[in-house]
Amino acid sequence: IEPEYSKVVWSPRSNIALYGNTASVSLMERAGVPMALGTDWLPSGSANLLRELACAIELNETYFNTTFSDVQLWRMVTTNAAFVAGAQLSTGMLKSGLAGDLAVFRAGDLDAHSAVVRANPEDVVMVARGGQALYGDASLLASAALGTDGCEALDVCGAAKVACVAQDVSSSSLAMVQAATDAIYPLVLCGEPADEPTCVPYRAEYPDGVVDGDADGDG
């Protein structure tokens, strides 16, 4: 592996659902290959990036001997993602001259990076794109300082949120988005989605799965 020429977008849930196993990401990490984490597509992947992180965490802790820290997983969906996509000159860091894309999460009992990678949908406090708040807690986006008049209410797993769809796409609304998506897949998913593709490897090299005395299920 030549890390200076290699970049990887890792989509573990889709890999496992389709092929029974995923890439040798521990080897890639030791070789210094830059890695981003992505959801692939809905039929075999995660419904959102938080569910893809949940899959990566499960694999990391069960099969990869905790190769990746929560900080490294956080980088896979922020700075690393920008570099892998070749977009590092415009996004991926909170830095002067770059796009003001920002997601804020409720910390709870977790430290900064763990609060992000182990978050649930209701823990997303605010999302801003280009410096403009477009989604988040209803109480926060009600602030006149954020300039989010006209946002629409949305219940997210019991948390009161608003989505400012018309500020992003003037010809659309939250109601129109929900009408278009709900017939295919719910806009909001809480907990583990029904019929979510598996994140448990099932190839022949995992003959009995995780059992007492074989913590990674490799036989």
Q: Is the model's pLDDT at 217 over the cut of 80?
A: no
Q: Is the pLDDT of residue 3 over 70?
A: no
pLDDT in tens, 55-97: 999 999 999 999 999 999 999 999 999 999 999 999 999 889 9
Sign of CA dihedral 112, 136, 198, 26: negative
Place 207 in a pLDDT band, splitting at 50, 70 and 90: confident
pLDDT at 212 exceeding the cut of 90: no
Q: 191: how many CB neighbours lie within 10 A of its CB? A: 10
* pLDDT at position 210: 75
pLDDT tens for residues 146-183? 988 889 999 999 999 999 999 989 899 999 999 998 88
Taking only the tens place, the pLDDT of each residue in 102-123 is 999 999 899 889 999 999 999 9
pLDDT at position 209, please? 72
Rounded to whole angstroms, how far apart are CA atoms 177 and 70? 33
Task: Indicate if the pLDDT at residue 1 is higher than 60.
Answer: no
Residues 6+ away with beta carbon under 8 Å from 32: 3
Q: Are 16 and 199 in contact (CB under 8 A)?
A: yes
Q: At what angle do helices 12-19 and 49-62 cross, to 10 degrees?
A: 70
Report pLDDT for 80: 95
Cα distances (angstroms) measured from residue 7 to each of 2, 28, 141, 183: 9, 10, 37, 36
**pTM of this prediction?**
0.89
The confidence band for 2, taking pLDDT boundaries of 50, 70 and 90, is low
Secondary-structure breakdown of the chain: helix, strand, coil percentages, each rounded to the nearest 5: 30, 15, 55
Q: Please, are residues 133 and 146 in contact by the beta-carbon 8 Å criterion? A: yes
State the pLDDT confidence band at 201, using cuts at 50, 70 and 90: very high
How do residues 132-144 score in pLDDT, each as one tens digit?
999 999 999 999 9
Per residue in 23-40, pLDDT tens? Answer: 999 999 999 999 999 999
State the sign of the Cα–Cα–Cα–Cα dihedral 169, 85, 32, 210: positive
How far is 104 from 95, CA to CA, in rounded Å? 16
Tokens of 90: 């415009």
Residue 214 confidence class, pLDDT cut points 50, 70, 90: confident
Distances (CA, A) of 65 to 58, 91, 184: 11, 32, 37
d(CA 192, CA 208) in angstroms, rounded, equals 24
